[in-house]
Chain A
Amino acid sequence: MPPVIKMGTFYGGANLRISGSTTAGAVIVTIAGENTDEVLNRKVRVAGIWINRGKVHVSGVPSLFLVFSNAAQAKFLSRKAIDEFQLDEESLESRMHIEPADLDLLAIRSAFITMKTRLKVYDSFVGDDIVKKTSGGEQTQYQINFRWPKKAPAGTYTLKAYHCANGKVAASEQLEFKVVEEGFPAWMAGLAQNSPLLYGLLAVITALLVGVGIDFLASRFGRAGVTSH
């Protein structure tokens, strides 16, 4: 895993590889983003149209959660261990804090996980083709190839590998890596946020110059009489 994933101009996700070794029978790898407070709109149907009514504040869960395992976690671990180490989405639901509290909390938890799953920032990858093991002997090498989701926001992420044996987590290790915006997107996003008036003027001036340039090129190569409405 690289220490930094850079979101530059041509960013569209990234192909990543996690590799390591284990002496245990099974390994479960998770990648989790920082716990975030999210404010979401809630859709309700009014007069046949789905509108946003009311806000839901969700906290206590990571911005991203990916889990990799060569078989279902329940094959290696007890439910208690899975919840303790947060090794599946069900264990995340129990830690979710939702406001206002008078909502249907079960439905909101489920809807939140569904939303994150559709955005591909919450996902489970299970199978021998996911966590590939090689070589025998005392140590088993494992390798996971996957596509980093393009919708994962910039931030700090924690990768944890849990070595599982006899129904328990025998050992674990972790490392942190960052996803950062860089280059032109970072500069432009920063300018738009920190100097919005200057950014707006720059946008107009750039558009005017491009328009003049197009007009110049069109007149040189034969204008086709285009107007815009």
Chain B
Amino acid sequence: MMIFLPVAGVSINLFLLIGVGAVVGFLSGIFGVGGGFLMTPLLIMLGINPMVAAASDANQIVAASTSGAFAHYHDGNVDMKMGLLMLIGGVCGGGAGTFIIKALRQSGNVDVVIRICYVVLLTLVGIIMLVESLTKPVKKSAPKGDRWIDRIPIHMPFETRFEASQVTASALSPVILGVIVGILAAIMGVGGGFLLIPTMVYLLRMPMKVVIGTSLFQMLFTASATTVMQAAVNHNVDLFLALTLLIGSTVGAQIGTRVSRYLNGNQLKILLAILVLAISVKMFLGLIARPAHVLVQIWGH
């Protein structure tokens, strides 16, 4: 059964689209990763324009992170002060990313830049996952002041106390982090959890339960802001595509979470790392291989 995506302007098999959402959701359920970094490349491989794929994926992330964000908020796991500072950065980053996309579109290379970003991201994520699953667990981190990063003589101003996380840090740190995540969300359609969580855990030393809730809160609002800006400036959000993917990813995530209880986590992590690296290689080959035709239609014309 085919469906016609009104903004993407293509007809695609409905069950294939739901299946892609289900596979990404299944992997999310097993590994606890968002899957945004997988969803966009898979959509590109299906023939969806990269700009539309990234923007619609951001829309999908709004829905996917809603339930988790509200659940953590009710459980008191959201550091609102930290989250709001990240949100300020996220909105600014999302706006910057939206206009970067607009400028790239005028230059004609938005699809190339998105693909290059994904090759870099997927290669890094895949290698880190592979190394993590093949090496011994890292010992408990050293007390503050004893780590190499604490010896770097950078002092950021506006130190403030974040009571919910019980940490003291510069107010600029979450803003800068939010800007980076916002730019990534706009250009690549990812939620940014792969960057937010390790940064909050290792650099800001926030407790894990607050990290997850705060990152979901930030992602929800950053993805929302990015969706509105992309729709208003670049006209590239396909709501129909986002909702179709969400149907599949929701079901897949539920199944994946249940299945994960019976599987060896480390072996699966290796498999996921291999899958991520395989997708990265495919995208890289797509960049360097001679294209089927040297003339390319411009989306939106």
Contact = CB atoms under 8 A, between A and B. Distances in A.
Given A10-B1, A49-B287, A200-B231, A226 B257 contact: yes
A227 B216 contact: yes
Contact of B62 (A11, A211, A215): A211
A51 B112 contact: yes
Interface residues of A, number: 62
Contacts of A115: 293, 295-297
Interface residues of B, number: 80
Given A49-B112, A150-B2, A215-B70, A229 B33 contact: yes
Interface in A181-198: 181, 184-186, 188-189, 192-193, 196-197
A151 B1 CA distance: 16
A185 B9 CA distance: 9
Given A114-B293, A185-B4, A207 B109 contact: no
B5 to A, nearest CB: 8
Nearest to A107: B294
Contact of A192 (B60, B235, B287, B301): B235
Most buried by B among A40, A184, A200: A200
A177 interface: no
B205 to A, nearest CB: 19
B3 A9 contact: yes
A11 B59 contact: no
A227 B62 CA distance: 12
Contacts of B108: 41, 52-53, 55
Contacts of B233: 196
B273 interface: no
Contacts of A49: 112, 116, 287-288
A196 B293 contact: no
Most buried by B among A50, A55, A186: A50
B92 interface: no
A43 B297 CA distance: 11
Given A49-B112, A189-B7, A197 B250 contact: no
Given A41-B295, A200-B237, A207-B59, A229 B228 contact: no
Interface in B257-301: 257-258, 287-298, 301
Given A150-B2, A199-B231, A226-B254, A215 B71 contact: yes
A197 B219 contact: no
Interface in B13-52: 13-14, 28-29, 32-36
Given A39-B298, A203-B239, A50 B290 contact: yes
Closest 5 CB pairs of A and B: A229-B193, A12-B2, A211-B66, A200-B231, A215-B67
Given A150-B10, A203-B59, A227-B216, 13 more contacts: A50-B288, A51-B109, A114-B293, A151-B11, A192-B237, A203-B228, A204-B59, A207-B227, A208-B63, A214-B67, A218-B254, A226-B254, A229-B192
20 contacts: A9-B4, A12-B4, A38-B297, A39-B298, A41-B108, A42-B295, A50-B287, A50-B291, A111-B294, A196-B231, A197-B228, A200-B232, A204-B227, A206-B243, A207-B242, A214-B250, A226-B28, A226-B254, A229-B32, A229-B193
Interface of A: 7-13, 38-45, 48-53, 55-56, 108, 111-112, 114-115, 118, 150-151, 181, 184-186, 188-189, 192-193, 196-197, 199-204, 206-208, 210-212, 214-215, 218, 224-229
